């Protein structure tokens, strides 16, 4: 008597979506189009094809690795830029569009 197909030793195919990143917490973040475009541009600059969620994970990891001095410098630069924009607005100057 021949074996039935159902008696095969193969593992049963699992139903549902496969686990891809492990048991992490889901974080829902609202992003505006300029941020998404910047992420997509970063993705295209990478050697390997990666998904947007993977790119966001990598960028967060890179951001967390930066030194506190770099973060402090960036905060001061942002503050100075904000003051400059405010002053330009008070003087009636228009900002140049970014290229």
* Residue whose structure tokens are 């990598």: 58
Q: What is the pLDDT of residues 15-33, one digit of tens each?
A: 877 666 677 788 899 999 9
Q: Is position 76 within any domain?
A: yes
Residues 43-98 pLDDT 10s: 999 988 899 999 999 998 888 877 777 777 778 888 888 888 788 777 777 666 55
CA distance 47 to 49: 7
Q: Which two tokens stand for residue 96?
A: 């140049």
- Report how far residue 68's alpha carbon sits from residue 74's, in angstroms, rounded to the nearest whole number: 10
Whether 50 is in a domain gets the answer: yes
Domain count, the chain: 1
Domain containing residue 35: 30-87
Residue 37 domain flag: yes
Q: Would you say how long the chain is, in residues?
A: 99
Structure tokens at 45: 């600059």
Measured distance CA(19)–CA(53) in Å, rounded: 14
**Is 25 domain-assigned?**
no
Other Cβ atoms within 10 Å of 56 Cβ, number: 19
């Amino acid at each position: 008597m021949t074996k039935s197909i159902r008696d095969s030793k193969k593992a049963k195919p699992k139903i549902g979506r496969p686990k891809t990143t492990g048991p992490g917490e889901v974080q829902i973040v609202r992003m505006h189009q300029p941020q998404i475009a910047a992420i997509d541009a970063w993705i295209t600059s990478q050697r390997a094809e990666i998904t947007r969620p993977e790119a966001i994970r990598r960028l967060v990891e890179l951001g967390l690795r930066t030194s506190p001095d770099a973060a402090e410098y960036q905060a001061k630069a942002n503050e100075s830029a904000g003051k400059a924009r405010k002053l330009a607005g008070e003087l009636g100057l228009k900002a140049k569009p970014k290229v």
